Amino acid sequence: MAVRIEPSILSADFTAIAADVARIPSADLVHVDVMDNHFVPNLTFGLPMVERLLQVTDLPLDVHLMIDDPDRWAPGFAEAGAAVVTFHAEAAKDAVATARAIRSAGAKAGVALKPGTPAGPWLDRLDEFDQVLVMTVEPGFGGQAFQPEMLDKIRQVRGTIGDRDVWLQVDGGIGPATIARTREAGADTFVAGSSVFGDADPDAAVRRLRELATA
């Protein structure tokens, strides 16, 4: 399996995001956490920020929507040029229709599961998605501690994905101490925030995470 490292700009310097993104050329994608202060108790970026980021970086964007009513809003992020648009199963009224709309707009479609959301009901629908995001913390804030009990869910999802071309992403507390465990459990796409942008050399941190995930 390929390994993808996605630094999350939730941990970047909000006054110099373009400059921080330029410091991670080894990243595979840039992870953009869109929060509306309704689905999660935090407020971050919206569509205008995504549109502007697309103008200042050649790295593809993976937009993680932690918002109410993603059925309405998700396709717009794909139309803007995001490479991946991931929305939460818990917030969608019709996740399959939303995924199809995202794909029709030219992006990969991802479905995200909170720690308390069982993976089982979604495993029969894997062909409708290009990515499954297993949250390893409660969504909303960066810098939280990894929840090791999510490793069993990662294994469950990986066992069902099998040889399908579906990315298995983990997000939350991913760093040097945890990335190998999630890789062993079956993850192939890793979101890392503070462990990258908290480093004096963010790109060296990206390369180190990749080494640990492929060791």
Active site residue 171: yes
Question: Do 111 and 86 form a contact (C-beta atoms < 8 A)?
Answer: yes
SS3 125: coil
Task: Quote the radius of gyration of the chain (alpha carbons, Å).
Answer: 16
Query: From the candidates 36, 62, 171, 188, which is the catalytic residue?
Result: 171
Beta strands in the chain (DSSP E): 4-7, 30-35, 61-66, 84-88, 108-113, 131-135, 167-171, 189-192
Positive or negative CA dihedral for 139, 141, 142, 144? negative
Query: From the candidates 33, 62, 130, 188, which is the catalytic residue?
Result: 33
Instruction: Put residue 34 in one of left, alpha, beta given phi > 0 → left and psi -120 to 50 → alpha.
Output: beta
Long-range contacts, 87-92 (Cβ 8 Å, 24+)? 87/111, 87/112, 88/39, 88/112, 88/113, 88/114, 88/139, 89/113, 89/117, 89/122, 90/39, 90/114, 90/117, 91/39, 91/65, 91/67
Catalytic residue positions, numbered: 33, 171
